[in-house]
Amino acid sequence: MLEVPEKLRAQMRMQRLLQMQDTSLIRPILQKAGLRPTRQRLILGQFLLSGQHQHISADELHLLTMQSGFSMSLATVYNTLNQFAEAGLIRKISVSGQRTFFDTNAHNHQHFYLEDEDRMIDIGGVPLMLSPAPQAPAGYTITKIDILVSLKKI
Ligand SMILES: [Zn+2]
Residues with CB under 5 Å of ion ligand 1 are 103, 105, 122
Q: Say which residues have a Cβ less than 8 Å from residue 135's Cβ, sequence separation at least 6.
A: none
Distance 105 CA to ligand 1 centre (A): 6
> In angstroms, what is the span from residue 37 Cα to ligand 1's centroid?
25
Q: What is the pLDDT along the chain (154 residues), one digit of tens a residue?
A: 555 677 777 777 777 766 666 678 889 999 999 999 998 999 899 889 877 788 999 999 999 888 888 889 999 999 999 999 999 999 999 887 778 999 998 888 889 999 998 889 999 887 777 888 889 999 999 887 888 899 999 9
Q: Are 14 and 68 in contact (CB under 8 A)?
A: yes
Tell if the pTM clears 0.75, that is, is over it. Answer: yes
Q: What residue spans define the domains of the chain?
A: 6-151
Which class does domain 6-151 fall in?
mainly alpha
Amino acid in position 48:
L
